[in-house]
Amino acid sequence: MLTFSILGALQIRTASGPAEISGDLQRTLVQTLLVSEGQSVSGEALVEEMWGEGAPDNQANALQAHVSRLRRKLRGLEPDRTTSRVTIHPSGYRLTVNEGELDAAEFVRTVRQAETLGSGSPEEAAQLLRQALAMWRGPVFGGFTGGTLCQLAGARYEEYRMRAMELRFDAELRLGRHAAVLAELAETHTSHPLRERFCEQLMIALYCAGRQADALDVFRRMRRHLADELGIEPSPALRQVESAILSHDPALSGDVRAPLLQLT
């Protein structure tokens, strides 16, 4: 069995250790087939992804040569496998990846599982989301994004990562762990200054830590930043958190954390 990792630099692992995929074109081919998650990719799309405007004159032959090379490589990594992982269909080329073999697919599955728990099981949700986020070793493909298909997939997985972080902070705050996540929240808000959800969560954590003035200062800086960068005002959700802090809304503190984030 092989496992494929793209939440970081491309990795293929076998029972005996990692296997190297050499060459930018081969890496782009593997990455494009992987992000298609079992769906066929047309030859035209693969050529565009691998070569862009610099496609060779004999692009069909060049693509077939790279596909054949990849098939030989994967066959050598799984000598007991009876069928090739890379198959050709009328609609294009397909790489067979089974459940549990692609880290990005497992990451998305785990995030969705945590989402279905809602606010009723914050401990279980937090544990699932910590496990999911631990799958990331760096930017998708290690920053080697290739063409449009890989770039779009990278953006999709990155958005899932942001969502996983938001859900995890929600769960931790519901459990009253504002002090434990405060430093991480501050760093995350700094790294993503236009993502209002992180700002809301940081404000709530600061308020629950007895730092109301700091929480309101975060809001004021966020409002200036939104105006300077985008020419917009804070969202109603963000303004609602500010209002709750100013009025010392009981939903922001106390022993029962479930209602805490219903404000936003």
pLDDT at 259 over 80: no
pLDDT at 66 over 80: yes
**How many Cα neighbours within 13 Å face the side chain of 10?**
22
pTM value is 0.89
Q: How much of the chain exceeds pLDDT 70, in percent?
A: 95
pLDDT at 118 over 80: no
Which tokens is 95 given?
């790489």
Handedness of CA 113, 118, 124, 130 (dihedral sign): positive
What region, left, alpha or beta, does residue 52 occupy, with left being phi > 0 and alpha being psi -120 to 50 degrees?
left
DSSP 3-state helix, strand, coil percentages of the chain (rounded to 5)? 60, 10, 30
What is the Cα–Cα distance from 35 to 194, expressed in whole angstroms? Answer: 27
- Contact yes or no for 2/14 (Cβ under 8 A): yes
What is the Cα–Cα distance from 43 to 30, expressed in whole angstroms? Answer: 13
Q: For Cα atoms 63, 64, 66, give the angle at the middle one, nearest 5 degrees.
A: 65
Name the burial class of residue 34, with classes exposed (0-12), middle (13-18) and buried (19+) by CB atoms within 10 angstroms of its CB: buried
**How many Cα neighbours within 13 Å face the side chain of 32?**
28
What is the Cα–Cα distance from 59 to 142, expressed in whole angstroms? Answer: 27
What is the Cα–Cα distance from 131 to 125, expressed in whole angstroms? Answer: 10
Backbone angles phi, psi at 192, to 5 degrees: -130, 70
Nearest to 166 by CA among 182, 188, 146: 188
pLDDT at 119 over 60: yes
SS3 of 19, please? strand
Q: What is the pLDDT of residues 139-168, one digit of tens each?
A: 999 988 889 999 999 999 999 999 999 999
pLDDT value for 254: 46
What's the rounded mean pLDDT across residues 69-96?
A: 93
Q: What is the pLDDT of residues 165-224, one digit of tens each?
A: 999 999 999 999 999 999 999 999 999 999 999 999 999 999 999 999 999 999 999 999
What is the Cα–Cα distance from 61 to 108, expressed in whole angstroms? Answer: 35
pLDDT value for 114: 94
Q: What is the pLDDT of residues 48-61, one digit of tens each?
A: 999 998 888 899 99
